[in-house]
Structure 1
Amino acid sequence: MLQTASETRSETHGKFIWCELMTSDTEAAGRFYSSVLGWSLNTMPMGEGDAYHLFQIGEGDKCPGIGGMMRIPTEMAGSMPPNWSGYVAVDDVDRTAREFEQNGGTVHRQPEDIPQVGRFAVVADPHGAVLNIMTPLPMDDMPPPPPEGAPGTVGWHELYAADLEEAFEFYSRIFGWTKDSDFDMGEMGAYRLFAEHGKQTGGMMKRPEEIPMPCWVYYFNVESVEAAIGRVRAGGGQVLNGPMEVPGSSWIAQCTDPQGAFFCLASMQK
């Protein structure tokens, strides 16, 4: 039986706040995404020869960051393929991690602190789709975020679920997401648009057969999907699908980077 704590949630609980790439080659991936999406990189040493790379829009330390990148740890290189994952803000990471387990999900990495950043955990829903949850620390000196929909920002979050209704009920309980509307995709079933605090932020659908397991995928805004596709191919990536027009007069493409991480592009013009 699904259950959650009864405490009142804040206005940020359930909000996607970050995207992160785990990859086998940070140098090559950094060049690729800088070319395709116009990002700059800000490298932050982490000790023991490793580093965390911030993806930023613009140049300089005070530019807004939209995501990060890390090298896949050596001990996980054989079991973890390159991938993008999202972070969702929650009021209390420890409590939300317990709620994931109580409702049939899994905690892959127990809550722990990231100094000067916040407290996070790696979790999965009952069907196995992985997310990160985080309670960020206040950061008053952060630069203002880029305008909504600006090129290079994350524009959409999409879940390929084993069962649409079960998945939606789970996330609705945990994060407070609400149903916006359904779009009938014929034989593929319904595409569920969901909202966070009344703002449409993503969609859910039954996992297509060609997708090996339930997962979250992320769409990055570009000025023109067709032009971005050219940059993907020039940089050694692959275009799996697109450009394709979708409801709302948007254009999308689904791609993989040269290391194999899956990502998507979106724009208001082809």
Structure 2
Amino acid sequence: MDTARLHRSWLRQFITIAALLGAVLSTPQLTAATYLPGKIVRADLLTTDLNAAANFYNKVFGWRLQRHDAEGYIDAFIRGEPVATFASYSDSKAPADGSIWLPSISVTDVDAAVRAVKRNGGKVLEAAQHVPGIGRAAVIEDPNGAVVMMLRNDNGDPADGPAAHNEWLWPELWTDRPDATAQFYDKVVGYKAVTHRGQKGHDYRILGRDGVARATILRTPIPDVESNWLLYMKVRDVHRTARAVVENGGRVLIPPMKGDLNDDIAIVADPTGGVFAIQAGGD
């Protein structure tokens, strides 16, 4: 296990224990003007090598790429539905240790969410602004350092539904201060937290809104790992996918193992440093 790599950046984590709790991060067809506040509705990879990153996900997960060379970004689709966007860092903002996955939380009012972030000890990294073709968005850092985007989609949010293979499955937040972190997101997003005891003996918090589970918070079990949001992807076979990751220039940070729900899971990184999790699950 490459613990040094795990200790260095925003998305450096271990295992999920709640990927099948109900709501999932999936990519079904958009329903116009339907909004699901609290749901993570978008995933953007901010990368130091746009083409290398996009080609990796195309080869390993079969994501179809739509390149926008003039604008400097690439959209990715699975089964005809949007699954991610790849964008390049400007030179001044590129981190020393590689790329990151940035999730987006649907909120009713981005500007109100930004004000709540400031009132409750968070930071605004990118001010609220309208992003053409996407919506109004702001990038924030919670009081423990985890980075996420607040978003009001122009065309509504993707409907809830079960994730298929090679789609995003579940978001999880690791932090040393789970109670305080849950309170922060309650005030900013409107999440309500319910604490549960996992099968392996550790507590985790389910974050929900409007009666639907949206994410989990887990106390960081590894020393010196910074607070981060981690996205899990559903795959058919974790062992096979981990081998494909390595064969295509990526790395396995946490080898395949059994998670709290007895599903195979692993933590991997793409060739440019973007870290995410893979988890097995049948249809």
TM-score of the two chains, using structure 1 as the length reference = 0.84
User: Does the aligned pair in 1 maintain the 2:47–2:100 contact within 8 Å?
Assistant: yes
Distance 1:78 1:221, change over 3 A: closer
- 1:242: how far off? 3.0
Please tell me the residue identity of whatever aligns with 1:18.
R
Say whether 1:86 aligns with 2:103. Answer: yes
Please tell me the residue identity of whatever aligns with 2:234.
N
Match of 2:166 among 136, 146, 152: 152
Match of 1:23 among 16, 22, 47: 47
Say whether 1:207 aligns with 2:220. Answer: yes
User: Does the aligned pair in 1 maintain the 2:110–2:151 contact within 8 Å?
Assistant: yes
Cross-structure match for 1:54: 75
- 1:70: how far off? 0.5
Say whether 1:263 aligns with 2:244. Answer: no
Cross-structure match for 2:86: 69
Cross-structure match for 2:206: 193
SS of 2:75's equivalent in the other structure is strand
Say whether 1:123 aligns with 2:140. Answer: yes
Structure 1 segments, 4+ long, off by >4 Å, are 144-147, 184-187
CA distance in 2, matches of 1:39, 1:147: 19
- Equivalent residue pairs, number: 249
SS of 1:168's equivalent in the other structure is helix
| Identity level (%) | 26
Q: Which moved more, 1:105-114 or 1:248-257?
A: 248-257
- 1:200: how far off? 2.7
Q: Deviations over 1:135-187 (max 9, x none)?
A: 11126xx9x87952201211011111120111111112222223344224778
Q: Deviations over 1:10-53 (max 9, x none)?
A: 962211100010111111111111122221111124x4xx4221
Say whether 1:171 aligns with 2:190. Answer: no
Larger radius of gyration: 1
Distance 1:211 1:250, change over 3 A: farther
User: Which fold has the larger relative contact order, with Cα–Cα distance below 8 Å and residues 6 or more apart in sequence?
Assistant: 2
CA distance in 2, matches of 1:134, 1:36: 28
Distance 1:80 1:118, change over 3 A: farther
Cross-structure match for 2:257: 244
CA distance in 2, matches of 1:213, 1:178: 23
Please tell me the residue identity of whatever aligns with 2:215.
G
- 1:108: how far off? 0.8
TM-score of the two chains, using structure 2 as the length reference = 0.80
Match of 2:66 among 23, 39, 42: 42
Distance 1:136 1:218, change over 3 A: same
Runs of 5+ consecutive residues of structure 2 not aligned to the other structure:
1-33
User: Does the aligned pair in 2 maintain the 1:72–1:80 contact within 8 Å?
Assistant: no
CA distance in 1, matches of 2:198, 2:155: 41
